[in-house]
Chains A and B, each alone.
Chain A
């Protein structure tokens, strides 16, 4: 403590760093990680395992960095901090947002357990499903990146409604993703005579894990809805 710190300004101890800044940084990591996951999955189904693994490592590292950020955010929100939103809901949103990353890592790690080329037809379907999952997250990002505006305007109806429109789009995309998952699952089962049971099991689980990513994007956006309620 230098001589410059010898003063009494309790206002400094009254104001804490804005937790939404870190939440936003975490969301930016989700955005980056989602791009890497998409490229990784595309490379896998193109049979380019080298690119796949390079991107898989990127996903793994982003997930780890985001985890650290999550922990530091949780540690800096002790009991007597007052926020303009419910702190419990804020932390639940953070948890769900972090789960998006967890499942994105699961998708690429699970894929890496068995590196085999997949029939062209199925590969295309997987890319379509991946695109839809990425779309769900893109809408979620619109919602989460609008929160600073909501805070600045202090919860005006206009800003809350804008966020809610994005949340509705997340639900819409998640529903479409569900439909694609079921169709793809059916298609994989229909190939039981031509594919190995292990291959079928591997791909079925990929479908499930991709589905989890969009499920958690929807869960996280539902938390935003609760967060913004009056």
Chain B
């Protein structure tokens, strides 16, 4: 099974091993750090215990990475730079390895100093840098332009969707005489929308390797069906929730938030799924490029990613959650108490939709920043008591830092690797 590996030269074996270590670390840190985005609020509001949050986060991050992760991975691997043009397998493999190492180092430093950077921006910056260094012709400018635009528009899109969801929640739940009963009626529709989107993202022209790639119509039919199942299940669960009559409005709203807690568990899992789908690429995109090129001894002109690499990425994320992520979830959960389940639900469903759509178009974006945009959307709908807009400036600064730093360091690492290994 590994005969091809042992047939390689020592240098090539070394390149693969370094890529595996760096890729695994990247997946680990994606799980360890970013999982708090999806689960922190649910643990903070008490909708999930820490233990349950870790388990469901692991399951959904893994599922997202393995089932939907290949699209963005393809972009990182062979969208930003065009490997066929490089024509030299070792140059391409080293470039991708340098890219992975540079991003990994910068993410490590930024995490240490709690800078609001994104692993996505680090890896994309590194890929652009290395591409320009080898030859500007190799960089696919139209894809780079789309990615750059998506970094600005994805948080805005998340914000608009979340804003609208919150407005709908106000109109259909909070404005009603009996908001608890109203939510139990509206809730299944919300579940339907969420399940529909997730299932569609998995099955529409996906899973070709498992022979489960459906066309548009079949995928939509399946999504409608499973969405309906989800809605019925949730309607049943809501019917089992017994809420006694209360006198004060405050108690009534607490009951509403209790029901929203169940919905927020679903959306937190959805964000974990979407995050796995988009961010696993930052680890396994370059890794699979190195792996496949070395294995074939030539540049493989596909944008696909082997299932084994997807599984490895998903596994790395799960290990990150289990060994470190739980601490981050716990800390963040204790500090985030300002987001109630109703607000968390709206922010998370906006994030899920935005990130999954981008994932399906193979666009690498920052899940964290989409979530922040979504929270601001709820804030604009008068849902959150105090939001610090200074975060926009800090994120902007972190872009301005991340892109040149990861680009230049990937070039330096590439030159060094080339000098040592080739």
Stretch of A46-54, A96-104, A117-125, A146-154 contacting B (4+ beta carbons < 8 Å)? A146-154
Asked if B335 CB lies within 8 Å of chain A CBs, one says yes
Q: Contact at B115–A80, with CB atoms within 8 Å?
A: no
Known: A84-B382, A149-B249. A9 touches B33 (CB 8 A): yes
Stretch of A11-19, A31-39, A175-183, A186-194 contacting B (4+ beta carbons < 8 Å)? A11-19
**With a CB–CB cut-off of 8 A, which chain B residues contact A20?**
385
Q: Contact at B33–A14, with CB atoms within 8 Å?
A: no
A11 vs B336: C-alpha distance when bound (angstroms): 9
0/1 string, A130-160, CB within 8 A of B gives 1: 0000000000000000101101111111110
**With a CB–CB cut-off of 8 A, which chain B residues contact A85?**
382
A4 vs B330: C-alpha distance when bound (angstroms): 10
Q: Contact at B379–A84, with CB atoms within 8 Å?
A: yes
Known: A152-B253, A153-B253. A10 touches B391 (CB 8 A): yes
A9 vs B325: C-alpha distance when bound (angstroms): 12
Query: Which B residues from 116 to 170 make CB contacts under 8 A with A?
Result: 116-117, 166, 170
Q: Contact at A7–B338, with CB atoms within 8 Å?
A: no
What is the chain B residue whose CB lies nearest that of A157?
B175
Stretch of B85-93, B184-192, B282-290, B368-376 contacting A (4+ beta carbons < 8 Å)? B368-376
Q: Contact at A9–B40, with CB atoms within 8 Å?
A: yes
Q: Contact at A155–B36, with CB atoms within 8 Å?
A: no
What is the chain A residue whose CB lies nearest that of B385?
A18
Asked if B235 CB lies within 8 Å of chain A CBs, one says no
**With a CB–CB cut-off of 8 A, which chain A residues contact B300?**
none
Query: Nearest chain A CB to B118's CB is how many angstroms away?
Result: 8
Asked if B357 CB lies within 8 Å of chain A CBs, one says no
Residue in B250, B328, B339, B390 whose CB lies within 8 Å of A7: B328
Asked if A128 CB lies within 8 Å of chain B CBs, one says no
Query: Nearest chain B CB to A5's CB is how many angstroms away?
Result: 7
Interface of B is mostly: helix
What is the chain A residue whose CB lies nearest that of B393?
A80
**With a CB–CB cut-off of 8 A, which chain A residues contact B116?**
8, 10, 13
Asked if B58 CB lies within 8 Å of chain A CBs, one says no
Query: Nearest chain B CB to A160's CB is how many angstroms away?
Result: 11
> Size band of the B side of the interface?
35 or more
Q: Contact at A11–B174, with CB atoms within 8 Å?
A: no
**With a CB–CB cut-off of 8 A, which chain A residues contact B383?**
84, 154
Query: Which A residues from 85 to 129 make CB contacts under 8 A with B?
Result: 85
Asked if A65 CB lies within 8 Å of chain B CBs, one says no
Known: A84-B383, A156-B175, A158-B175. A12 touches B335 (CB 8 A): yes
* Count of chain A to chain B residue pairs whose CB atoms are closer than 8 Å in the complex: 136
Q: Contact at A11–B388, with CB atoms within 8 Å?
A: no
Q: Contact at B386–A11, with CB atoms within 8 Å?
A: no
> Size band of the A side of the interface?
35 or more
Query: Nearest chain A CB to B365's CB is how many angstroms away?
Result: 15
Asked if A205 CB lies within 8 Å of chain B CBs, one says no
**With a CB–CB cut-off of 8 A, which chain A residues contact B382?**
84-85, 154-155
Q: Which residue, B115, B335, B385, has most C-beta atoms of chain A within 10 A? A: B385
Asked if B381 CB lies within 8 Å of chain A CBs, one says yes
Q: Which residue, B174, B386, B389, B390, has most C-beta atoms of chain A within 10 A? A: B386
Query: Nearest chain A CB to B107's CB is how many angstroms away?
Result: 8
Q: Contact at B338–A15, with CB atoms within 8 Å?
A: yes
Q: Contact at B394–A13, with CB atoms within 8 Å?
A: yes
Known: A20-B385, A82-B379, A153-B174. A5 touches B390 (CB 8 A): no
**With a CB–CB cut-off of 8 A, which chain A residues contact B394?**
10, 13
Q: Contact at B386–A15, with CB atoms within 8 Å?
A: yes
**With a CB–CB cut-off of 8 A, which chain A residues contact B328?**
4, 7, 9
Q: Contact at B253–A149, with CB atoms within 8 Å?
A: yes
Q: Contact at B386–A16, with CB atoms within 8 Å?
A: yes
Q: Contact at A15–B114, with CB atoms within 8 Å?
A: no
A9 vs B393: C-alpha distance when bound (angstroms): 15
Known: A148-B250, A153-B170, A159-B249. A10 touches B390 (CB 8 A): no
**With a CB–CB cut-off of 8 A, which chain B residues contact A229?**
none
Asked if A6 CB lies within 8 Å of chain B CBs, one says yes
Query: Which A residues from 43 to 90 make CB contacts under 8 A with B?
Result: 77, 80-85
Residue in B36, B253, B338, B368 whose CB lies within 8 Å of A16: B338
0/1 string, B311-338, CB within 8 A of A gives 1: 0000000000000000110011001101
4 shortest A-B CB distances, which residue pairs?
A10-B116, A84-B382, A18-B385, A16-B386
Task: List 20 contacting pairs A-B, 8 Å CB cutoff, sorted by A.
Answer: A6-B112, A8-B114, A8-B117, A9-B40, A9-B368, A10-B391, A10-B394, A11-B368, A13-B390, A13-B391, A14-B376, A16-B385, A80-B389, A81-B386, A82-B376, A84-B379, A149-B250, A152-B253, A152-B340, A153-B170
Interface residues of B (CB under 8 A from A): 32-33, 36-37, 40, 110-112, 114-117, 166, 170, 174-175, 179, 249-250, 253, 327-328, 331-332, 335-336, 338-340, 368-369, 371-372, 375-376, 379-391, 393-395
New contact pairs (19) apart from A8-B110, A15-B387, A81-B386, CB-CB < 8 Å? A4-B328, A7-B33, A8-B368, A10-B369, A11-B40, A13-B388, A13-B391, A14-B387, A14-B391, A15-B386, A15-B388, A16-B386, A16-B387, A19-B386, A80-B389, A81-B389, A82-B380, A84-B379, A155-B382
